[in-house]
């Protein structure tokens, strides 16, 4: 769990004793591609840290599946709109690669907030980061045309373009796979 | 500032000395209808607590103004995607009524987190609540048809229907004012 400890230490100070508490509170979970971390209709019971791998969040909108965003190694993954109030999730989270996670339950996360001296500060800063990213992506879904969304995807996730099937990227951008091919040709034609 | 103190105490314990610190960190601001708390292109420098009144968040999308959500008395208002990284805002926040706010700057908010014993916990819980509401509204913008959005608006803000001009409600729902009139007739016809 060294990567997780290192990421937490980017937010707060952790004593050696507190590192042990963190390691005790998180549990390893391994997913194969296609496995679900969270299924629509169920309650999101964990926050997960991605040690290795890649997941996508998607929603079923009028029977049509739409990919809303991606999370990769070193990021926290959770549907907070289900996790925080502990109500049924409207989104699913699915692994796209063999994915190694460290997960913490709602109850254990409250313990982390209490038992680590800067636990509450970590909670505030981590949630600020996760929500900022979620809101920026949702705002973009609403305001940016597909070309801009694709260019932003390339800019923010240059390494993911090889790791994600084209139809998921097209769904994320909000267009059909054929239209994505046309956008890609147009962009590469400019170079 | 008794209302603000009461709302903070819903989240955390505050000693009498800490109440004085809170009162010292927040400043009163009064807006007239049409006045801006935040303008697009500027940096969001404050979190504000609405003591009395009503504001709307809006965005300019392809020259067209779109109302994204509303906040009213007893709620915190802030464009966190500008406030947290202290970068230019893509949204504006405008008063719809005479609005009395208590505002706190970015720097003073960091002091509140440090100087109040449960300050960090307050920060975490308050931001959880604000973001939950923001994400639910953004999700709905994306997934729900106008009729559902209007019904949710009625369910969540029954008192606001009299306080907000119809064209802002139509913009929030995502339709033209004429279409909103039709939806309203259809809904009232069912009763």
Cβ neighbors of B171 (< 8 A, separation 6 or more) are B58, B65, B66, B67
**For chain A, how big is the Rg over CA atoms in Å?**
18
- Which of the 8 DSSP states describes residue A158? T
Q: What is the pLDDT of residue B138?
A: 76
B/e letters for A79-92, b = 16+ CB within 10 Å, e = fewer, are: bbbbbbeeeebbbb
Tell me which of A166 and A141 has the higher pLDDT: A166
At B190, is the pLDDT very low, low, confident or very high (cuts 50, 70, 90)? low
Residue identified by tokens 């049409």 is: B34
* Chain A CB within 8 Å of residue B137 CB: no
Nearest by CB to B124, from A59, A120, A136: name it: A120
* Chain B CB within 8 Å of residue A144 CB: no
DSSP sequence for B138-166: HHHHHHS-HHHHHHHHHHH-TTTTTTS-H
Alpha carbon distance B15, A187 (integer Å): 60
Q: Kindly determine whether residue A59 and residue B134, on different chains, have CB atoms separated by under 8 Å.
A: no
What's the length of chain B?
Answer: 191
Q: What is the pLDDT of residue B88?
A: 97
Q: What is the pLDDT of residue B21?
A: 97
Alpha carbon distance A147, A160 (integer Å): 17
Q: Kindly determine whether residue A81 and residue B136, on different chains, have CB atoms separated by under 8 Å.
A: yes
Q: Kindly determine whether residue B90 and residue A139, on different chains, have CB atoms separated by under 8 Å.
A: yes
At A144, is the pLDDT very low, low, confident or very high (cuts 50, 70, 90)? confident
Lowest mean pLDDT among A27-41, A69-83, B3-17, B40-54: A69-83
B59-82 pLDDT, tens digit each = 987 778 989 889 999 999 999 999
H-type helices in B42-190, by residue range?
Answer: 80-83, 106-115, 119-143, 146-156, 166-173, 177-190
Mean pLDDT in residue range B127-156: 84
Alpha carbon distance A122, A40 (integer Å): 28
Mean pLDDT in residue range A30-58: 97
The fold for domain A2-123 equals Jelly Rolls (2.60.120)
Tell me which of A159 and B143 has the higher pLDDT: A159
Backbone φ, ψ for residue B51 (5° rounding): -80, -35
* Chain A CB within 8 Å of residue B11 CB: no
Alpha carbon distance A81, A66 (integer Å): 17
Q: Kindly determine whether residue A142 and residue B138, on different chains, have CB atoms separated by under 8 Å.
A: yes
Residue A189 in tokens: 């034609």
Mean pLDDT in residue range B88-114: 97
Considering chain B, what is the average pLDDT of its residues?
A: 92
Mean pLDDT in residue range A143-155: 88
Nearest by CB to B59, from A80, A123, A143: name it: A143
At B17, is the pLDDT very low, low, confident or very high (cuts 50, 70, 90)? very high
Considering chain A, what is the average pLDDT of its residues?
A: 92
Tell me the domain boundaries of chain A: 2-123, 144-191
Alpha carbon distance B190, B48 (integer Å): 40
Pairing of strands B54-61, B91-95: antiparallel
* Chain A CB within 8 Å of residue B85 CB: yes
Q: Kindly determine whether residue A128 and residue B132, on different chains, have CB atoms separated by under 8 Å.
A: no
Q: CATH for B2-119, among 3.30.365.10, 3.30.420.40, 2.60.120.10, 3.40.50.300?
A: 2.60.120.10
Mean pLDDT in residue range B98-116: 97
Q: What is the pLDDT of residue B141?
A: 75
Nearest CA in chain B to A113: B121
Q: Are B47 and B27 in contact (CB under 8 A)?
A: no
Mutation for B interface: A142, A147, A148, most B CBs within 10 A: A142
Q: What is the pLDDT of residue A130?
A: 83
* Chain A CB within 8 Å of residue B3 CB: no
Residue A125 in tokens: 């800063």
> Which of A131, A145, A138, A137 has the alpha carbon at shortest distance from A175?
A145
| Distance to chain A for B153, nearest Cα, Å | 18
* Chain B CB within 8 Å of residue A120 CB: yes
DSSP sequence for A79-127: -HHHHTTT-B-SEEEEESS-EEEEEEEHHHHHHHHHHSTTHHHHHHHHH
* Chain B CB within 8 Å of residue A142 CB: yes
Mutation for A interface: B57, B62, B123, B174, most A CBs within 10 A: B123
* Chain A CB within 8 Å of residue B121 CB: yes
Nearest CA in chain B to A130: B131
The pLDDT of residue A61 is above 80: no
The pLDDT of residue B139 is above 70: yes
Nearest CA in chain A to B118: A120
Tell me which of B89 and A66 has the higher pLDDT: B89
Residue A118 in tokens: 């800067």
Alpha carbon distance B146, B157 (integer Å): 16
Alpha carbon distance B26, B1 (integer Å): 9
The most confident of the ranges A62-66, B79-83, B104-108 is B104-108
Q: Are A1 and A48 in contact (CB under 8 A)?
A: no
Q: What is the pTM of this model?
A: 0.87
The pLDDT of residue A191 is above 60: no
Q: Residue B95 forms beta bridges with which residues?
A: B55
- Percent of residues, chain A, with pLDDT higher than 70: 99
Tell me which of A131 and A79 has the higher pLDDT: A79
- Percent of residues, chain B, with pLDDT higher than 90: 66
Q: Kindly determine whether residue B142 and residue A139, on different chains, have CB atoms separated by under 8 Å.
A: no
Q: Kindly determine whether residue B127 and residue A128, on different chains, have CB atoms separated by under 8 Å.
A: yes
B149-181 pLDDT, tens digit each = 899 889 888 889 899 999 999 998 888 999 998
At A187, is the pLDDT very low, low, confident or very high (cuts 50, 70, 90)? confident
* Chain A CB within 8 Å of residue B65 CB: no
Lowest mean pLDDT among A116-120, A132-136, B19-23, B53-57: A132-136
At A109, is the pLDDT very low, low, confident or very high (cuts 50, 70, 90)? very high
């Amino acid at each position: 769990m060294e990567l997780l400890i290192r990421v937490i230490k980017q937010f707060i100070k952790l004593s050696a004793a507190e590192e042990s508490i963190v390691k005790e509170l998180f549990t390893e979970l391994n997913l194969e591609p296609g496995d679900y971390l969270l299924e629509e209709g169920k309650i999101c019971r964990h926050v997960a840290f991605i040690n290795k791998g890649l997941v996508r969040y998607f929603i079923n909108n009028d029977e049509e599946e739409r990919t809303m965003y991606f999370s990769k190694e070193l990021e926290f993954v959770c549907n907070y709109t289900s996790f925080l109030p502990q109500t049924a999730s409207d989104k699913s989270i699915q692994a796209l690669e063999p994915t190694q996670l460290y997960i913490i339950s709602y109850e254990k996360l409250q313990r982390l907030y209490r038992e680590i001296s800067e636990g509450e500060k970590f909670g505030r800063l981590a949630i600020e980061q996760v929500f900022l990213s979620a809101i920026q992506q949702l705002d973009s879904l609403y305001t940016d045309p597909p070309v801009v969304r694709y260019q932003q995807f390339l800019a923010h996730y240059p390494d993911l373009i090889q790791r994600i099937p084209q139809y998921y990227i097209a769904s994320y951008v909000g267009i059909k796979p054929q239209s994505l091919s046309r956008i890609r040709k147009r962009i590469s034609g400019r170079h």
